[in-house]
Structure 1
Amino acid sequence: MKESVSTYNKNQSIDQLIVDFIHYYQMDGKIDALDTIYLTNQLLELLGKKELKPVSAQPINEPLMLLDQMIEFAINGGIIRDTVSDKDILGAKIMGIVTPRPSEINQKFWKLYDKEKLAATDYFYALSKENNYIKTREIAKNIEYKHQTPYGEIEITINLSRPEKDPKEIALAKTEKSAYPVNLLCMENEGYAGNSQHPGRANHRIIRLDVADEPWGYQYSPYLYYNEHAIFLSEEHRAMNVGDKAIRNLLDILTTFPHYFVGSNAGLPIVGGSILSHDHYQGGRHTFALERSEMEHTFELKDLPQVTAGIVKWPMSVIRIQSTDKEALAQAAKKIMDTWEDYNDETVGIYDFTGETPHNAITPIARMRDNQFELDLVLRNNRTSDEFPDGIFHPHPPVQHIKKENIGLIEVMGLAILPPRLEKELAEVERYLIGKSADVKAMHLPWAETLKKENSGVTEESAQSIVRHAVGEVFLQVLKDAGVFKRDQAGKDAFIRFTDYLKTV
């Protein structure tokens, strides 16, 4: 049974920190008493200690506070540099000491899975937070709120969790380039020490699983964007290919984890929004606004009567298909994806190719609903023009002061991931609205002036809600910009023409 205590002396000796740290995980059942000396010696080596003074263990309930103090000891003793990377690497190594080996974790996971699927993912999620692989303290810094729209309640996040490197560390990274691990998503990250340009992964563990008769892995994102933000990754190093095989992979993962959704970014630049060099998907336990949106127009697919299909009421262009028949659903998805790949409608600016360069792609999202398999197929196009060099179906210039980056899977579903710069920049806009400052970045000034005209008598109490509401409206416009069939009458008619065409193929 774990001991607890309400306070802890922050000025304890390093010997006391080491003893208490190991003792905590022993009492918490994470390590066996027989491993205490062995793990203590590993920790001594990491911290450059040649011996351990005898001290009695004290009960604590904040092991990460001890982690911080041990890292501080290492900095003061010249064992590591006072840089983001060195602290990250040492922190991961310390937590790796008290994290079970991959084989042990996998054995326990699948043993729990045989009894209850939810218990298995609960176990692995809790472990990934407890060993500081999931950066819970950093994630807590994010600014998060919801915004009501005609399409439901979308979510806004200003991402403040990832630490920024200083210029010296950025320069140092140029001398530490490595081809191993190949990327941040490959299996070789498990237990990797890290360097100035690759995060410490000594405490990283991956659950092995079979996906459509291939070896894959499953882990969580260190900087969660939503509850149980999971990543499924191929063991083989290969580029993403979002075709028929990807759909079957998603449905297979969903069969293994029916309490999760799982989806893929599109496989083309601009609309991909992800690491396209490694085949992977994202999933988790979270209900997004897109999932809550209903179909506003239904249609039939030729030779697939067991599949329900329809257009979803959403600012982007989404076809939803449902069936209890997994194979029929995969066939329906292939029909829609193959048809879209070569589809043109010049009346709304949709062209499938420029020369031999493809433009049409799909962002697929799979889930279970009422004991049925359900797929949302989001139609994407990455064509550019002189007017829109960043992308015709991409955030347009009027909204790029808030969001210029690619619109990937997570944002497609209604969760904005906004850059950390906005924390200070939006505060400046708030001060501008109440007349306390004229120091607004030039890119925000037209927007700030519009807000000031539309909102008279802004107070310190109301400024934040006004700005946050306006940011929510900007993100809604971002989604509309990314929609290939717009929500005006011409766009709706064009979308119906596409679904009518699907009935014939």
Structure 2
Amino acid sequence: MNIEQTIQRLIHECLKRGLLDEADEIYARNRVLNLLHLEDFRPETSAPDAACRPEKDLPGDPDLIIPFLLEEIVRYACRKGIIEDFFDAKEIFAAKIMDAFVGRPSEINRKFYQKYEESPEKATRYFYELSKNSNYIQMSRIKKNIRYRVPTEFGTLDITINLSKPEKDPKQIAKERTAPSVGYPKCVLCVENEGYAGRVGFPARSNHRMIRIPIENEIWYLQYSPYVYYNEHCILLSREHRNMKISRETFKRLLAFVERFPHYFLGSNADLPIVGGSILSHDHYQGGRHVFPMETAGADFSFTVKHFPRVECAVIKWPMSVIRLRADRKEDLVELSDYILKRWKEYSDPEADVLAFTGDVPHNTITPIARIRDGRYEMDLVLRNNRTSDEHPLGIFHPHADVHHIKKENIGLIEVMGLAVLPGRLAGELKEVEKYLLGEPNEIKEYHLPWAEELKRKYGTAVSAADAEKIVKLEVGNKFIRFLSDSGVFKRDEKGKRAFRRFIDHLNE
């Protein structure tokens, strides 16, 4: 296809997916032509019937067609000198192209709430598809991620090796070094990102839209993650740029949201360093339409808390320390969640290495997750502590040094629930571990050697290539269990179980 045919094919795809209205076709085309410095458009070489014929060079996956066409247009812009050939310049240009096809925020919000009148599912499905089709959700990169599932004693866990984040080229790195410091938007979650063109070192958001949602007397903003890790991975963010804080208001907001969107869960990263997420400077939550392994975990034991007779309480069978609350009334869950949070924040148990404070520095907090299941409100409260020690300088309740060869980053909300997001380096490194197990020439990293030797002792050397791949996947899953177990404040041995019981008793004092 020439550039005119590519443009027309992109228009056709946007029309077909409902991203563009027929009445806006000529307007959108002219905006794209202007961006490409094209003053002429020849209908005979880009007629709709020609554009609509299947092209043998188009991807077979429908989610990849728009990204493919967009990439062709960006390459043309680079060849013609319209933009420079480095990552951020191409991202900014691609977002501007797609912005020609996306309605204004007011229009998107109006359509969302029209569909919400039919059902919450129709509303979110509309917005999710729009976010994919506008290329805000980066489907072509997300599809590169390696995903598989591993059976464990805690159920089948999800493993993702994250290959969606593109590597920076030397020109991009050089541009970032000389880019001026700018304080607008303040962070990548600020509402000012909606429609922001982007700049060197800050993502392009011309094609970005958000849904305004009233939650507890505030307007919150719903968007999807550009690099979704699971189905309909959404973010709910505060209009105000303020620090994350787990509080009574958090529980009220989480439950208010799932009441409005009962097919979604919503949770929050913890609000302290080490145990918190990557962005603690902007109040936000994450949710979506996905059943995580933790949700299906059964109860270790049930208990009651005095003065809260209407709430069912249980400690669930999970590597981390999780209290599950269930009730018919969300107000009852808010009250008990807030009570547990307050009791936990001041709780110390030196025998379990749990100290609430070092001086005035707090260590205890909670990772909460809300959902509606079987018509009842449900809240999972994951107990967290961010103390460090000489033995564990990155965190006593953090993945320990012997698993850092797989992952050493924080264990946030998504991983707490049973989906491991592992660094992209492992895609190649684990193949070298497989070669090592097979006795083949390899370039195994030194930091994997102790683990690889352990696997050889466990499984022997007479393994096939298929066996080696299965072994490595299974053992990565076992490492993930270790990440979670290390992060659990009350271990699952007898000592840890007694410590957990002591905290439950503390709730009833």
* Farther-moved stretch of structure 1 (349-358 vs 437-446): 437-446
Query: What's 2:59 paired with?
Result: none
Do residues 100 (structure 1) and 91 (structure 2) align? no
8 A contact 2:364–2:384 mirrored in 1: yes
Counterpart residue identity of residue 485, structure 1: F
Distance in 2, Cα, partners of 1:474 & 1:486: 16
Say yes or no: does 1:411 pair with 2:409: no
Equivalent pair of 2:277/2:413 in contact (CA under 8 Å)? yes
What residue number does 1:155 align with? 158
Match of 2:184 among 180, 183, 191: 180
More displaced stretch, 210-219 vs 31-40: 31-40
Instruction: Find the residue that maps to 2:43 and give its secondary structure.
Output: coil
Note the C-alpha offset of 1:144.
Answer: 0.7
Secondary structure, counterpart of 2:71 in structure 1: helix
CA distance in 1, matches of 2:243, 2:16: 44
User: Which residues of 2 match residues 2-401 of structure 1 at below 5 A?
Assistant: 12-26=1-15, 28-55=17-44, 56-57=47-48, 58-59=51-52, 62-176=65-179, 177-401=181-405
**Paired position in structure 2 for 1:482:** 487
How far did residue 314 of structure 1 move? 0.6
Q: Which amino acid aligns with 1:14?
A: I
- Deviation string, structure 1 residues 365-404 (Cα, Å, up to 9, x no partner): 0011111110000000000000000000000011010010
State the AA in 2 paired with 1:496: R
- SS of 1:443's partner is helix
Q: Is the 8 A contact 2:86 2:172 kept in 1?
A: yes
Q: Which amino acid in the other structure matches residue 311 of structure 1?
A: V
Name the stretch that deviates more: 193-202 or 207-216. Answer: 193-202
SS state at 2:446 partner: coil
Distance 1:27 1:379, change over 3 A: closer
1:162 positional shift: 1.2
The structural deviation recorded for 1:74 is 0.4
Aligned mates of 1:154, 1:75 — CA distance in 2: 43
Aligned to 1:471, which of 476, 483, 504?
476
**What's the offset of the Cα at 1:238?**
0.7
Candidates 460, 468, 472, aligned match of 2:465: 460
- State the shift of 1:37 in Å: 2.6
Residue identity matched to 2:498:
D
1:135 CA displacement: 1.2
Aligned length: 493
Shift, 1:440, TM fit? 1.3
Q: Residues of 1 paired with 2:329 and 2:17: CA distance?
A: 45
| Bigger mean CA deviation after superposition, 405-414 or 148-157 | 148-157
Q: Is 1:501 matched up with 2:506? A: yes
Which residue in 1 is equivalent to 2:433? 429
Query: Using the alignment, how far apart are the partners of 2:13 and 2:383 within structure 1?
Result: 51
Runs of 5+ in structure 2 lacking a partner? 55-64
Cα distance per residue 1:126-178 (max 9 Å; x no partner): 11111111111211111111111111111111000111112331221133332
CA contact (8 A) 2:67 2:140 kept: no
Contact 2:67 2:139 in 1 (8 A): no
Deviation at 1:29?
4.2
Measured in 2, the distance between the counterparts of 1:34 and 1:208 equals: 26
AA at the equivalent of 1:115: E
- Contact (CA 8 Å) 2:328, 2:377: kept in 1 or not? yes
2:147 and 2:9 map into 1 onto residues whose CA distance is: 35
Letter in 1 for 2:227: Y
Three-state SS of the structure 2 residue aligned to 1:247 is helix
The whole-number CA distance in structure 2 between the counterparts of 1:284 and 1:114 is 20
Cα RMSD of the aligned pairs, angstroms, is 1.3
The answer for the alignment partner of 1:8 in structure 2 is none
1:311 shift after superposition: 0.6
**TM-score, structure 2 as length reference:** 0.95
Q: SS of 2:266's equivalent?
A: strand
The answer to which of 189-198 and 389-398 deviates more is: 189-198
Give the superposition deviation at 1:438. 4.3
Measure, in 1, the Cα distance between the counterparts of 2:13 and 2:443.
Answer: 50
**More displaced 10-residue stretch of structure 1: 47-56 or 151-160:** 47-56
3-state SS of the aligned residue for 2:391?
coil
Q: Quick check: 2:19–2:134 contact (8 Å CA) kept in 1?
A: no
Letter aligned with residue 258 of structure 1: P
Please state how far the C-alpha of 1:14 moved relative to its aligned partner. 1.6
Deviates more, 1:481-490 or 1:73-82: 73-82
Give the corresponding residue for 2:57. Answer: none
Match of 1:6 in 2: none
**Inter-CA distance 28–386: structure 2 relative to 1 (3 Å threshold):** closer
Taking the aligned partners of 1:313 and 1:63, their CA distance within structure 2 comes to 43
- Indicate the SS of the match to 1:196: coil
| Preserved CA contact (<8 Å) 1:320 1:377 | yes
Tell me the residue number matched to 1:7. Answer: none
What secondary structure is seen at the aligned counterpart in 2 of 1:127? helix
3-state DSSP class of the match of 1:347? Answer: helix
Q: 2:177 corresponds to which letter in structure 1?
A: K
Displacement of 1:65 after TM fit?
2.7
CA deviations 1:110-130 (Å, max 9, x no partner) are 111112111111111111111
Contact 1:20 1:60 in 2 (8 A): no
Structure 2 contact 348–356 (Cα < 8 Å) conserved: yes
Gap change, CA 1:78 and 1:318, over 3 Å in 2: same
State how far apart, in whole Å, the 2-side matches of 1:28 and 1:436 are: 49
1: distance between equivalents of 2:23 and 2:323?
Answer: 57
State the one-letter code of the partner of 1:132: N
1:431 CA drift (Å): 0.8
In structure 2, distance between residues paired with 1:100 and 1:354: 52
Residue 361 of structure 1 contacts residue 381 of structure 1 at CA under 8 Å; is this kept in 2? yes
Pairwise CA distance, 1:27? 5.0
Q: Deviations over 1:416-461 (max 9, x none)?
A: 0000010111111111111112421111111011111212212222
**Identical-pair percentage:** 51
SS in 2 for 1:444: helix
Is the CA contact (8 Å cut-off) linking 2:275 and 2:385 kept in structure 1? yes
